[in-house]
Amino acid sequence: MKVRIAKSSDLTQIVEIFNQAIINGGANAFTNTVTPEERKNWFDSHQDPNFILICEIEEIIVAWCSITPYRQGRLALSKTAEISYYVHQDYIGKGIGKYIVKETILLAKSKGFKNLIAIMLDTNEASKNLLLKFEFQIWGHLPKIAEFPDYTCGQYYIGKNLTI
């Protein structure tokens, strides 16, 4: 298992994993799958110091984690980023999420980020619990903000100060 910075040729596999999360539900607020073409601008915005880290096994991407500008353009927030991660459905529960989050935190810190924020649905207990193991804290909760056809749920802001 190795991690590396994503290349543009990885976008199709990144989107495949992202779409699995959309189809399976509960991991993000998207309700329709996306195409690589629709995610190209998002991918292109993840250049240094922002990034997408991928985890691969035998050249197959099994997870990815992104560091995205938080409130881009607001210079007072330029050392804060949003962390998002997704694991291929065939590799969930094998420690890969923990591995890529750990590596992403280390790389984000080395690039000068001081705070990481995860914005996630409050139904995503597995992701919340993983981040809490890395000493993230619940910094906020927006109740009943995400409306899906079958249910409504809230959204957490879970953060970590990397300077402590």
Residues 81, 119: Cα–Cα separation, whole Å: 11
pLDDT of residue 26: 86
Query: What phi-psi label fits residue 59: left (phi over 0), alpha (psi between -120 and 50 degrees) or beta?
Result: left
Q: What is the pTM of this model?
A: 0.95
* CA angle in degrees (0–180, nearest 5) for 59-64-66: 140
Burial category of 60 from C-beta neighbours within 10 Å (exposed 0-12, middle 13-18, buried 19 and up) = exposed
SS (HEC) of 15-34: HHHHHHHHHHCCCCCCCCCC
Cα-Cα-Cα-Cα torsion 25, 6, 40, 161, nearest 10 degrees, comes to 60
Q: What is the pLDDT along the chain (164 residues), one digit of tens a residue?
A: 999 999 999 999 999 999 999 999 888 999 999 999 999 999 999 989 999 999 999 999 999 999 998 999 999 999 999 999 999 999 999 999 999 999 999 999 999 999 999 999 999 999 999 999 999 999 999 999 999 999 999 999 999 999 98
C-alpha 139 chain-centroid distance: 17
**What pLDDT does 116 receive?**
98
Which structural domains are found in the chain, ordered by start?
2-161 (3.40.630.30)
- Can you give the pLDDT at residue 164? 85
